[in-house]
Structure 1
Amino acid sequence: MSNPVYDLQDVTLSLKGNAGTVDILRGISLQVQQGESIALTGASGSGKSSLLMVMGGLERATGGKVTALGHDLSALREDGLARFRQGRMGIVFQSFHLIPTMTALENVATPLELSGADDAFDRARAELEAVGLGHRINQYPAQMSGGEQQRVALARAAAPRPAILLADEPTGSLDSRNGAAIMDLLFELRDRHGATLVLVTHADDLAQRCDRVVQLADGRIV
């Protein structure tokens, strides 16, 4: 078998708060292969979103080792993690995190420009057309519905053609119709770019569309 996209070995995450130290992740070991789709499920507070953040290098593990695409994320500083994510990872959140003063086209093109792409606006336009927003490229986030804003966020995540797509409850703030459309698009983007997909979800029907379901409880894989 080829080298896994992700190799997590005995990963722990503890956060200090007013009431003392809280153990969020308790010895997570997990491998994810290239092109695989994984659903992280579990009750609120089970650690699934924290695990996704650790896998994205957005939260640093307290212990253990997180290897992504052959790179030890545990050994990278913040600037190194940012450089690693650039072009390699696309991340979609429940909150859209669009820049309100930028049009849809500018929101999608900006990460491409930052990575030095010469064709940033052409690629951004193509991705927006792929998610059905070719007619909305010059609109600002405030002029769009929630479903449209999430489509822009998907286009932005997919535009660099990343090896890894991470999604944290991407349909959580949408109604059922828009949520279903967004998930169809997410799987289409995965297939089109050959990306590995890891998503956090409460929805059983969505989880069952993935190749594998990883259930968490109390910071451990069940």
Structure 2
Amino acid sequence: MPPDVIRLRDACLTLQGNAGPVEVLRDITLSVAGGETLGLVGPSGSGKSSLLMLMGGLERATGGQVTALGRDLTALDEDALARFRLGNMGVVFQSFHLIPTMTAIENVATPLELAGHADAFAQAEAQLRRVGLGQRLEHYPSQMSGGEQQRVALARAVAPRPAILLADEPTGNLDGVNGQAIMDLLFGLREEHGATLILVTHAPELAARCDRVLRLADGRIAGEDLRSAAE
């Protein structure tokens, strides 16, 4: 079995709300193996996106430990976390998070340039063509449809060939046709690059494509389903 790339041990996340502290995640212990596809499902407010953010170092655990690729994320400062993510993680958000003043190719090339790739624009163009946007290289986000913007976001996430790919409701803002296309691209690119994929979704058909699905409720892991057990 491939070694674990992510481990959480008794991880907790407590945030300060207007009425006092709110326990968002409680006592989360789990491991994710290299190359695995893991789906996180559950009702709104169950902690799915927060758990994904902990795994990516985008939220800092207030208790327990979070380890990715052998690094203790809870021990890194913000600059070190940013450097670690840049070299090892790709993130796809529901709301795309493209830079509006940059063209498609500039959006994809930026993380490659930051990571020191001399051929950043050539790699960005190749990845955009891979997701079917060869004719949109010089278009700005406002000139593209939602499905096209999500393709740019996906290209940006996978272009640096990260070991870990995180996706938060990647089809949530898309219609059925575009959502299916993004699903196919997401899993196709994951397989092509050999990345570990962890995604949050409300779509049963997307969760069904994962090797393993964790069900969250009230900030805890409430259950687990294996695809092999269901087939």
TM-score in terms of structure 1 length? 0.99
Q: Is the 8 A contact 2:2 2:35 kept in 1?
A: no
Contiguous gaps of at least 5 residues in structure 2: 223-231
Contiguous gaps of at least 5 residues in structure 1: none
Hey, what's the Cα distance between the residues in 1 that align with 2:184 and 2:87?
Answer: 23
- Residue by residue over 1:20-45, the C-alpha shift from the partner in whole angstroms, topping out at 9 and shown as x without a partner, is 11100010001000000000000000
- Residue by residue over 1:154-175, the C-alpha shift from the partner in whole angstroms, topping out at 9 and shown as x without a partner, is 0000000000000000110110
Hey, what's the Cα distance between the residues in 1 that align with 2:59 and 2:135?
Answer: 37
Alignment RMSD (CA, Å): 0.7
1:94 paired residue number:
94
1:76 paired residue number:
76
Q: Is the 8 A contact 2:124 2:156 kept in 1?
A: yes
**SS of aligned partner of 1:134:** coil
1:36 paired residue number:
36
Hey, what's the Cα distance between the residues in 2 that align with 1:76 and 1:52?
Answer: 17
Q: Which runs of 4+ in 1 moved over 2 A?
A: none
Hey, what's the Cα distance between the residues in 2 that align with 1:86 and 1:206?
Answer: 26
TM-score in terms of structure 2 length? 0.95
Residues matched between the structures, number:
222
Q: Which amino acid aligns with 1:29?
A: T
Hey, what's the Cα distance between the residues in 1 that align with 2:126 and 2:154?
Answer: 12
Hey, what's the Cα distance between the residues in 2 that align with 1:79 and 1:100?
Answer: 24
Alignment of 1:61-72 (within 5 A): 61-72=61-72
Hey, what's the Cα distance between the residues in 2 that align with 1:99 and 1:48?
Answer: 25
Shift of 1:101: 1.0
1:17 paired residue number:
17
Hey, what's the Cα distance between the residues in 1 that align with 2:123 and 2:2?
Answer: 30
Change beyond 3 A, Cα 1:31–1:120 = same
